[in-house]
Structure 1
Amino acid sequence: MATGRRLAVSLLGAGTQGRRLAYMWSSCGCDVHLIDSQEKQLKDSLGYIEQLRSLHEPPAKSSGRIRTHTSDALKDALNDSWLVVECIPEKLPLKRDIIRQLDQVAPADTIIASNSSSYTIGEIIAGLDLTDSSRVLSTHSYWPPETSAIEIMGHKDTDPEHISTLMKQCADHGFKPFHVKRESTGYIYNRIWAAIKREALLTAAEEVATPEEIDKIFKEVLKTPKGPFEQMDVVGLDVVLDIEEHYAENRGNIPEKPREYLRKLIGEGKLGYKNGKGFYEYDK
């Protein structure tokens, strides 16, 4: 890990994951740079982080500073960062462009990470002419702080020391880190979750049962707090579709009907919790 002046963490993207990760990294005193192209997104993120602190953090706990920056100040924000994580939408060309940009402007000892939920870091950097690919890896989180699991995955040239650093630092900042020992589309949990959500979608699309009924029997049998459709609403149906499209492209033999079902709902303006209506309706 970088020492001396580089003690902060930078997060590129102040959406759902970026703001939650900003809360996690700042909760134990680490300074955070939150970077986004939209001023409103940055402002809303600070308010949201304060809500999380009031819900999850003891009053006496000392939090690190969170400083916001627009994207044109990216290089300055990275100057004191030992880690930068991209949290931009799950679109491969976007992620490739931003990893290339981060490689060009981040200090030489800054670790560069992707929060991609479906693309391996090897896929993201394939063919990119990076100055140092050994410092590039994946740090995929779920729904912190409620779900604190985070998966650390490198590629064939990632420096093992960076993996060790992330495993330790994530644990020190309230995450529960898991090392993905080989490149894996979907990491560990999402490979298993993908099969569950795909079959749930197919069951509903075939009108075997409604999403509500499927959630109820799922929770009754497995004693989980949420069913698969409730979980998809939390993730966002557009994100779920992006991930499913990638699985279909990457693996083949993936049924089309679940994706058709998602496209229909998205076409009706149903994105899930984030816009108040998905498989369920929510009071925003």
Structure 2
Amino acid sequence: MSAPVAILGAGTQGRRLAYMWSSRGRPVHLIDENLSQLQDAQKAVEQFRKTDSKSEYLSGELKTFASEDLRAALQEAWLVVECVPELLPLKRAVIENIDALTGPMTIIASNSSSFTITEIVAGLELRHPDRFVSLHSYWPPETPAIEIMASPKTKPLIIQRLISECKDHGFSPYHVKKNSTGYIYNRIWAAIKREALSVAAEGVATPEEIDAIYKDVLKTPKGPFEQMDVVGLDVVLDIEEH
């Protein structure tokens, strides 16, 4: 049996990543302190699989674990991805705990949209600082783009492996070659988002009108305000405050 991918956090991103990483036969361990959220995540993954019923691949086994079973959940994992809320102290504590519970060959990644892996690990006493990366996804499976960014200490071979593995699991990987808060896309999106908010705040146009003209000109399915609603206004606020 192949080594599992372990995902900490069964929220919106965690459950979508659980689907993607299990969609090519790889086992996935999904971990959360909220048992109700774990149940909802399992149902969401099952629904994704029904939607993708014509896939030529067999789905991997999805196992769920409560947070108190973290050591067992991380055992044998080749990749661990944290998807906890966008709070830097929380992410630092989670990353430090994963480092203590996993062997030196396990790759440890953060899915954070607002903190780089360099920021998260800064000052931490890590056992194996050369295995940490940012692995930021957007809205899989509908939007399969995923950005991979190293810290100054990350082994280059880890980046190469992740690019290959992401391609094999239906993602479209992009290597962020320098440390960049906001990665690639979010730096571009931030400018669009802030101008959309300014146009609405100044009374130039309503959010509905801004979304409508944006979609009309660029032929995209969602406008800026619709995209913010999908991401969650609480997440948008966290990112803006950072």
TM-score range, shorter chain: over 0.9
Deviation, structure 1 residue 6: 6.3
Deviation, structure 1 residue 56: 2.2
Hey, which bits of structure 1, 4+ residues long, moved more than 6 A?
none
Secondary structure, counterpart of 1:24 in structure 2 = helix
Matched-pair contact (CA < 8 Å) for 1:79–1:106: yes
Matched-pair contact (CA < 8 Å) for 2:2–2:26: no
Counterpart code for 1:242? D
Secondary structure, counterpart of 1:177 in structure 2 = strand
Match of 2:169 in 1: 173
Match of 2:110 in 1: 114
If the length of structure 1 is used for normalisation, what is the TM-score? 0.84
Counterpart code for 2:31? I
Deviation, structure 1 residue 174: 0.4
Counterpart code for 2:105? D
Matched-pair contact (CA < 8 Å) for 1:78–1:107: no
Change (3 A) 1:101 1:56: same
Pairing partner for 2:91 from 82, 88, 95: 95
Q: What is the percentage of aligned positions where both structures have the same residue?
A: 63
**In structure 1, what is the Cα distance between the partners aligned to 2:56 and 2:202?**
53
Match of 1:29 in 2: 25
Change (3 A) 1:165 1:60: closer
Secondary structure, counterpart of 1:18 in structure 2 = helix
Match of 2:71 in 1: 75
Pairing partner for 2:13 from 13, 17, 25: 17
**In structure 2, what is the Cα distance between the partners aligned to 1:150 and 1:57?**
23
Match of 1:204 in 2: 200
If the length of structure 2 is used for normalisation, what is the TM-score? 0.98
Cα deviations across residues 25-63 of structure 1 (Å, max 9, x unaligned)?
000000000000011011111111111111123266310
**In structure 1, what is the Cα distance between the partners aligned to 2:53 and 2:141?**
10
Please say if 1:244 is aligned against 2:230. Answer: no
Cα deviations across residues 218-268 of structure 1 (Å, max 9, x unaligned)?
11111111100010000000000100111xxxxxxxxxxxxxxxxxxxxxx
Matched-pair contact (CA < 8 Å) for 1:26–1:63: yes
Match of 1:223 in 2: 219
Deviation, structure 1 residue 191: 0.3
Size of the aligned set, in residue pairs, is 242
Deviation, structure 1 residue 108: 1.8
Over the residues paired in the alignment, what is the CA RMSD in angstroms? Answer: 1.1
**In structure 1, what is the Cα distance between the partners aligned to 2:240 and 2:67?**
29
Please say if 1:135 is aligned against 2:137. Answer: no
**In structure 1, what is the Cα distance between the partners aligned to 2:56 and 2:104?**
36
Unaligned runs of 5+ in 1: 247-284
